[in-house]
Amino acid sequence: MTTLPTWSLLVLTLPTENATARMRFWRALKAKGCAVLRDGIYLLPYTEEREQMLRELASAIADSGGNAYLLRAPSLDAVQEAEFRALFDRAEDHAAFMRSLKDARKTISGQSAADLTRLRRRLRKDYETIVATDYFPGDTATRAQAAWQDFIGLVDTVLSPGEPHSAEQPIRSLSASDYQGRTWATRQHPWVDRVASAWLIRRFIDRDARFMWLTSPSACPADALGFDFDGAAFTHIGERVTFEVLIASFGLEKEPALLRIAEMVHALDVGGAAVPEAAGFEAVMAGASERAAHDDQLLDEMSRVLDSLYTHFTSAAKSRDAGGRS
């Protein structure tokens, strides 16, 4: 016999004398995608994490002078199960998002890097808001995901033309002592992965590195070490972006601060798990690109930002270690 899914129900009466609290609780319920069965009764498909969230919300409602009771129950039958699932249908939200992507595509040409970055960040927030409460994704969600990935690819092509394809090959273990005083070459107008990789090279691998900014990968001199383009000495391998490949190649994985930066670079370059610092770094990068007179100046400016992030992440790691030993 098939067991029907379980639901969490929050039965509540909001405080009558605190309009601010009522509005805050309504917004919290909406943000979590709760369905309304009737006034004061809200529904979510059960998971331990969601129920804990509702439990905390119920406690906050009680502390504000209201009443809230949290219940858990299965659907009575398949008919009721279908009725409950229909309350969480996000197909129209996904369809509206795809229409906004279609409109956004018409505006990409001629926009500055800063404007494109803001546009992508706004649409990413819209998309993630829908996905976060789409508890039963269907065909429309699949189409919206494909449309979003295509849009990201289009913006990346404009911001960073010539983005490398991922190679399938082993990552060699190398010694930094064999790579001193070299010329390193990558595509001009660098974006996140190339700027971070250049910073990593000069900061941790080759302190006397000289950089060439190529109009085309085919212009890379034979004696230069290319990075972040197809056929380069260092480029994307498997799921790793160039910054991560350099870390692995030169044995820098034991640096927790570098790994935190790597998570950010990965998320901004190819997507992935959200990183709190990513949006801020991307905004600074876009602004610096607008201001910098040339690529060396851009690298110098963003290197200071990366130095600060590295110092911050190092301090945070030391604080965690100290806390763990106490």
Average pLDDT over residues 293-303: 96
pLDDT at 193 over 90: yes
Average pLDDT of the residues in 32-52:
93
Q: pLDDT tier at 153 (50, 70, 90 boundaries)?
A: confident
Confidence of residue 3 (pLDDT cuts 50, 70, 90): low
The pLDDT value given to residue 275: 84
Q: Is residue 1's pLDDT more than 70?
A: no
The answer to whether 19 and 27 are in contact (CB under 8 A) is no
- CATH 3.30.70.240 spans which residues of the chain? 6-86
Answering whether pTM is above 0.85, one says no
Average pLDDT along the chain = 90
* pLDDT(118) > 50: yes
Among 305, 108, 272, 113, which Cα is nearest to 196's? 305
The predicted model gives 223-231 an average pLDDT of 93
Position 324 pLDDT exceeds 80? no
Instruction: Report residue 46's pLDDT band, with 50, 70 and 90 as the boundaries.
Output: very high
**For the residues 57-83, what does the mean pLDDT come to?**
92
Q: Which range is least confidently modeled, 45-54, 75-84, 114-123, 288-297?
A: 114-123
* Mean pLDDT on 11-17: 86
- Give the per-residue SS3 of 55-78: HHHHHHHHHCCCEEEEEEEECCCH
Complete edge-to-edge strand list for the sheet that includes strand 210-214: 210-214, 183-187, 225-226
Q: What mean pLDDT do residues 93-104 have?
A: 95
Rounded CA separation 30/316 (Å): 34
Least confident of 22-36, 102-116, 188-202, 227-241: 102-116
176 versus 166: the higher-pLDDT residue is 176
pLDDT at 151 over 80: yes
Whether domain 6-86 has CATH 3.30.70.270: no
Q: Using an 8 Å Cβ cutoff, are 5 and 74 in contact?
A: yes
**Beta-bridge mates of residue 12:** 68
